[in-house]
Chain A
Amino acid sequence: MRLLSLLRVIVMGERNASRVVPPTGFTVGLTLFSAAAMAFLAVFALALSLATGRLADRWADALARTATVRISAPPGQMQAQTDAVMAVLATTPGIADARVLDEAEQRALLAPWLGPDVPVGDLPLPQLIEITEDAQGYDPENLRLRLSAEAPGAVLDDHTRWRRPLVRAADRLRLLGVVSIALIGLTTAAMITLSANAALAANARVIRVLRLVGARDSYIARAFVRRFTGRAFQGAAAGTFLGMAGVALLPEADSAGSFLTGLGFQGAGWLWPLLIPPLAAIVAFWATRAAAFRTLRGVT
Chain B
Amino acid sequence: MIDLDKVAHDYGGGALLSDITLRLEPGSFHFLTGPSGAGKTTFLKLCYAELVPTAGTVRLFGRDLREMRRDDVANTRRRIGVVHQDCQFLDHLTIAENVALPLAVSDRDPGAQADNLSELLDWVGLSAQARARPPELSGGERQRAALARAVMMDPEIVLADEPTGNVDWEMSLRLLQLLVELNRMGKSIVIATHDLNLIRAAKAQIAARVLRIKDRHLQLAGADL
Which residues of A approach B to under 8 Å, CB–CB? 18-20, 22, 206, 208-219, 296, 300
Asked if A214 and B50 sit within 8 Å, CB to CB, the answer is no
Q: How far is the CA of A218 from the CA of B49 in the complex (A)?
A: 19
- Once the chains are docked, how many angstroms separate the CA of A211 from the CA of B70? 10
CB-CB nearest in chain B for A220: B105
Tell yes or no: B71 within 8 A of A by CB: yes
B102 within 8 A of A: yes
Closest Cβ of chain A to B67, distance in Å, is 15
CA distance A300 to B65 in the complex (A): 12
- State in angstroms the CA–CA spacing of A215 and B101 once bound together: 9
Once the chains bind, are A215 and B105 in contact (CB under 8 Å)?
yes
Q: Give the shortest distance, in Å, between B163 (CB) and chain A (any CB).
A: 16
Question: Which one of B82-90, B172-180, B192-200, B209-217 contacts A?
Answer: B82-90
Interface residues of B in 87-143 (CB under 8 A from A): 88-90, 92-93, 97, 101-102, 104-107
* Complex contact A212–B84 (CB within 8 A): yes
B78, CB-defined interface residue at 8 Å: yes
From the candidates A22, A213, A217, name the one contacting B101 in the complex (CB within 8 A). A213
Contact B102 A213, beta carbon cutoff 8 Å: yes
Which chain B positions have C-beta within 8 A of A217? 70-71, 74
- What residue of chain B has the Cβ atom nearest to residue A297's Cβ? B70
B74–A216 touching, CB < 8 Å: yes
Q: Is B75 an interface residue (CB 8 A)?
A: yes
In the bound assembly, the distance between CA atoms of A19 and B110 in angstroms comes to 14
- Does B153 count as interface, using CB distance less than 8 angstroms? yes
Decide if B153 touches A214 in the complex (CB within 8 Å). Answer: yes
Check B51 for interface membership: any CB of A closer than 8 A. Answer: yes
A209 neighbours in B (Cβ, 8 Å): 88-90, 101
